[in-house]
Structure 1
Amino acid sequence: MTVKLSLASLNDAAATAAVPAYDPKSLTPGIVHFGVGNFHRAHQAVYLDDLFNTGKAHDWAIIGAGVMPSDAAMRDKLKAQDFLTTVVEQDNNKTAARITAPMVDIIAPDDKAALVAKLADPAIRIVSMTITEGGYFIDAAGNFNPKHPAMVEDGANPTNPKTVFGLIIAGLRLRRERGISPFTVMSCDNIPGNGHVTENTLVGLAKLSDPDFAQWIHDNVAFPNSMVDRITPATGPRELDILRQEFNIDDNWPVFCEEFKQWVMEDKFPAGRPRLEEVGVQFVPDVAPYELMKIRILNGGHAAIAYPGELLDIHFVHEAMEHPLIRAFLAKLEKEEIIPIVPPVPDTKLDKYFDLIERRFLNPKIGDTIPRLAQDGSNRQPKFILPSTRDRLAQAKDIVGLSLVSALWCRYFAGTSDSGRQIVFNDASAEKLHEAALKAKDNPDAFLAFDEIFGEVSSSALFRERFAHALKTLWTEGTAKTLQLYLADQLVR
């Protein structure tokens, strides 16, 4: 018989899953987290659950928050099961389920007054966020974009904010008015220098309405940089069925993920923090080498295989890695163009790190999908691929493979795979990218005209030449043949 997940059913669920060693009702909140999606519940929440299981830090529970319609749906589903989550960790050789309970509430997205009041609560010492790369209102160079419509609106209406950053500013303002020290703002997103980016956006938005308060934020609020890593696919019918059939648990929104996880952070928490180093979090003086390694090699690798996978009608990531052309393409790209320009990382061999990435991508149990990797490219390409292109160009190095990645992305946005299958886009800029990709079949520069995506890279004559030739080859020869030419060092006219 299937166990419907709730606090009352934890003892029954313990027959097939690990359950908390602590009483969830004894927890008190110390963190407000924006973006209670799968990654957060497979990563930050799991680390906290590990720490709570040692009997420590029970005053650091999480209150969830968000501003999107999906956040309201998540709240409804998790509230119905007392904010518990079943996390299924899948390695090549084993699968194990655990029930985590570090979250004690989620504030409804339309209850802004309650959220701002909670942000002003002295017990809240950290405000963290997993809001995806597109949620920071930055341009291709990583700078705050004050002209973004959402920032313009929040800047003009600071007392009625609609964005995560507007709400955080409102909470900080109320704390200052009440003489309460500010919380630490901690980004958990895959953005280079995510702490710096978060500060720039928060301060930049505050300047639009109150420059003096913006300076106060800059002078008083901490923004630690961090690197986060765990492959966590979306939850669908497949995952719900596995949980019911293999673990006899009915969870409204379980999380499936790989066994591997990593979190590297700067120790900048003047308001205090849980002792996460006791459960595997690395605190280091400088996160930059770790995050650059991960963003360029892992996230860049995901972006590299996503579009040939889509064009060749491959659904799962492990299936793409089992395709000899795609796996060889990734290895050549990484070893010849990406890894050579990644700076050294303490106690890490980059070739061994890539070997680990390959094994993780090949994990057949994760069920991670190519459509997930292909989504939101307008935000991911400028962060995961184009910086490597830019750095190689600055060093007068060739960019045949990286240009091919950009050309594959363009070909993908033409809207059909090599077989003629209609591609379903998931990108805020999909309409204009699709239009430009169709024009690029005859005029490749049409796709490179998006300065907010390509930035200075599009001004390189070498990049435009390599991109145009790769795109033409994709259209005339198809994806498989183009990959073969690249692997044979023949994708150069």
Structure 2
Amino acid sequence: MRLERTAVTHLSTETLHQLAPETVIPTYDRSAVRVGIAHFGVGNFHRSHEAVYVDRCLHLPGNEGWGIVGIGISDTAASREKAAAFHRQDGLYTLTEFAPDGSSHSRVIGSIVSYLHAPTNPEAVLDQLTEPNVRIVSLTITEGGYNLDESTKEFVLTNPDVQADLAGNPPRTVFGFIATALARRRANGIEPFAVISCDNLRHNGDTARKAILGYAAAIDLDLAAWIAEHVSFPNAMVDRIAPYVSATDRDRLNSATGVEDLIPVMSESYLQWVLQDHFPAGRPDLGDVGVQLREDVTLFETVKGRLLNASHVLLSYPALLMGYRLVHDAMADQGLRGLLDIFMEHDVLPLLIEPEGVSLPDYKNLILDRFANPAVGDQLIRIATDGSAKIPVFHSQTITELINGGKVLEREAFLFACYDRYLAGTDDNGEPLGTTEPSLSRNDRDGLDAADGLGLLRVAAFSTLDLPNSPSFVSSYIHLRASIARDGTTKTLSTMLGSV
């Protein structure tokens, strides 16, 4: 990692050509780029993933109609500061990619040509979404952001923000914005846009479709039927590790690039997007810049979700309890690395189907190497946050198949035992963890201390697994939970791995 340079140049359109040659800048004419994609949730992942692919496309002839308008949906001080930073920097920001060998490369991404803060001006967002040139709306609103009931999988109409939208107020939710915009397009004879979810969900396009149709049906059944018939929701598998950027990270990145960037992002060098090619109104030339346009997205979703994402989650809770705070530090612990290796090799790989052209053992080893990349500095708490939303997404299918097959449940039970201990808010050394669990209801929290020790297994998010009625899972969970409380996570993990 080379950090010799000092930040001296404020980032803007006017200063682009003043940047050091080591920082790559867009070579296309940004003044000629028009908005064709609207994106909700302009976080670090979007800016290091979809926006990078679109930036590549904008370097190709004939793609100038595919610029991105970013849309911030939350009404917080941080979201308002982000909106101000985007305006000040003309939508530009730096991305620094770190390879496992320690090398890094920085570039300015220019694909976000406009930015709107929805709570400040919701009508401006609706006007933009109604423009005929907007042919794709993409989303990164987190795994738990689709407002579907974990048990019924139906859209939750009682959500307060949804209720406010349904009452005819200016939209607060993504669903309100999209459904209202589609209604206006329909009324004005404008072709609908396609909707892409870029969240780490299996069948993420189907999930987005379910949520938006659920909302639309509550306001107009005819509109819902029209959306169901005319709006495309391609499924996608997305992959790149893009950690949180702290103030210290920002200063470090800016020092390395020589750029005064208010909103820099960093990521690993690995990048992947597998996407169904369902875009009736057109799309940029994504296939020419590395996006894999294939119909078997579900296989890729399954492999990535049940190996990479599931392992990320499995690592986060015991590692935090053991005192680690960064992913690469945790991966240097042979017990934790061994836990992931055994989990993938014994619990998951035998249950998966290989997509054509993919070696699952090679993919497993790639995951371990990516997690161990010290340059990324990914925070374990980022991965652990909102576990009650993430654990069902990435572990439910494996748990179900292990139970039905009479297989070993120890690693999955260890995950739940560590998560239960994590919810207490401190690690094994008594240090605070800063847990954030927005998807846990008050009823869920009140039930965690059940006398039989099974309160966590009854949390609503895990209800479809019916874990309290699996004797083998309960036995492993109770044993490991007691061991962690008595001996600590490190000793419990060592004992467990020694029995393999």
The answer to whether the superposition gives a TM-score over 0.5 is yes
SS at match of 1:107: strand
Residue in structure 1 matching 2:109, options 96, 100, 105: 100
Aligned partner letter, 1:196: D
Q: In the TM superposition, what is the alpha-carbon distance from 1:449 to its structure 2 partner? A: 1.5
Aligned partner letter, 1:211: L
Q: In the TM superposition, what is the alpha-carbon distance from 1:408 to its structure 2 partner? A: 0.8
Cα separation, 2, equivalents of 1:60 and 1:239: 31
Q: 1:34 maps to which residue?
A: 40
Q: Is the CA contact (8 Å cut-off) linking 1:57 and 1:275 kept in structure 2?
A: yes
Q: 1:81 maps to which residue?
A: 89
SS at match of 1:88: strand
Cα separation, 2, equivalents of 1:357 and 1:79: 37
Give the alignment of 1:162-181 within 5 angstroms: 162-181=172-191
SS at match of 1:7: coil
SS at match of 1:318: helix
Q: In the TM superposition, what is the alpha-carbon distance from 1:144 to its structure 2 partner? A: 2.7
Q: In the TM superposition, what is the alpha-carbon distance from 1:464 to its structure 2 partner? A: 2.1
Residue in structure 1 matching 2:25, options 16, 19, 32: 19
C-alpha change, 1:235 and 1:361, in structure 2 (3 Å) is same
Cα separation, 2, equivalents of 1:144 and 1:89: 39
TM-score (norm 1): 0.95
Q: In the TM superposition, what is the alpha-carbon distance from 1:31 to its structure 2 partner? A: 0.5
Aligned partner letter, 2:392: P
Cα separation, 2, equivalents of 1:438 and 1:200: 31
Give the alignment of 1:354-433 within 5 angstroms: 354-429=364-439, 432=442
Q: 1:227 maps to which residue?
A: 237
Q: 2:69 maps to which residue?
A: 63
Q: 1:122 maps to which residue?
A: 132
Q: Where in structure 2 are there 5+ consecutive unaligned residues? A: 1-5
Aligned partner letter, 2:257: F
- Which 10-residue stretch deviates more, 54-63 or 301-310? 54-63
Count residues with an aligned counterpart. 489
Q: In the TM superposition, what is the alpha-carbon distance from 1:14 to its structure 2 partner? A: 3.9
Cα separation, 1, equivalents of 2:48 and 2:162: 34
Cα separation, 2, equivalents of 1:438 and 1:134: 20
Residue in structure 1 matching 2:466, options 457, 465, 468: 457
1:444 and 2:453 correspond: yes
Cα separation, 2, equivalents of 1:438 and 1:281: 43
Q: In the TM superposition, what is the alpha-carbon distance from 1:353 to its structure 2 partner? A: 0.2
Cα separation, 2, equivalents of 1:435 and 1:115: 37
1:112 and 2:122 correspond: yes
Aligned partner letter, 1:72: R
Give the alignment of 1:259-408 within 5 angstroms: 259-408=269-418
C-alpha change, 1:121 and 1:249, in structure 2 (3 Å) is same
Residue in structure 2 matching 1:45, options 48, 51, 76: 51
- Which 10-residue stretch deviates more, 168-177 or 460-469? 460-469
Aligned partner letter, 1:20: P
SS at match of 1:302: helix
Cα separation, 2, equivalents of 1:460 and 1:73: 48
Deviations 1:228-283 (A, max 9, x none): 00000011123212223222111001000000100000010001111100000001
Q: Is the CA contact (8 Å cut-off) linking 2:32 and 2:64 kept in structure 1?
A: yes
Q: In the TM superposition, what is the alpha-carbon distance from 1:360 to its structure 2 partner? A: 0.4
Q: Is the CA contact (8 Å cut-off) linking 1:143 and 1:197 kept in structure 2?
A: no
Residue in structure 1 matching 2:195, options 185, 193, 197: 185
RMSD, aligned CA: 1.8
1:3 and 2:9 correspond: yes
Q: In the TM superposition, what is the alpha-carbon distance from 1:136 to its structure 2 partner? A: 0.3
- Which 10-residue stretch deviates more, 150-159 or 380-389? 150-159
Using the aligned pairs only, state the percent identity: 34
Q: 1:466 maps to which residue?
A: 476
Cα separation, 2, equivalents of 1:241 and 1:297: 34
Q: In the TM superposition, what is the alpha-carbon distance from 1:462 to its structure 2 partner? A: 2.2
Aligned partner letter, 2:163: E
Q: In the TM superposition, what is the alpha-carbon distance from 1:384 to its structure 2 partner? A: 1.1
Aligned partner letter, 1:200: K
Q: Is the CA contact (8 Å cut-off) linking 2:203 and 2:235 kept in structure 1?
A: yes
TM-score (norm 2): 0.94
Cα separation, 1, equivalents of 2:476 and 2:61: 57
C-alpha change, 1:142 and 1:260, in structure 2 (3 Å) is farther
Q: Where in structure 1 are there 5+ consecutive unaligned residues? A: none
Q: In the TM superposition, what is the alpha-carbon distance from 1:447 to its structure 2 partner? A: 1.4
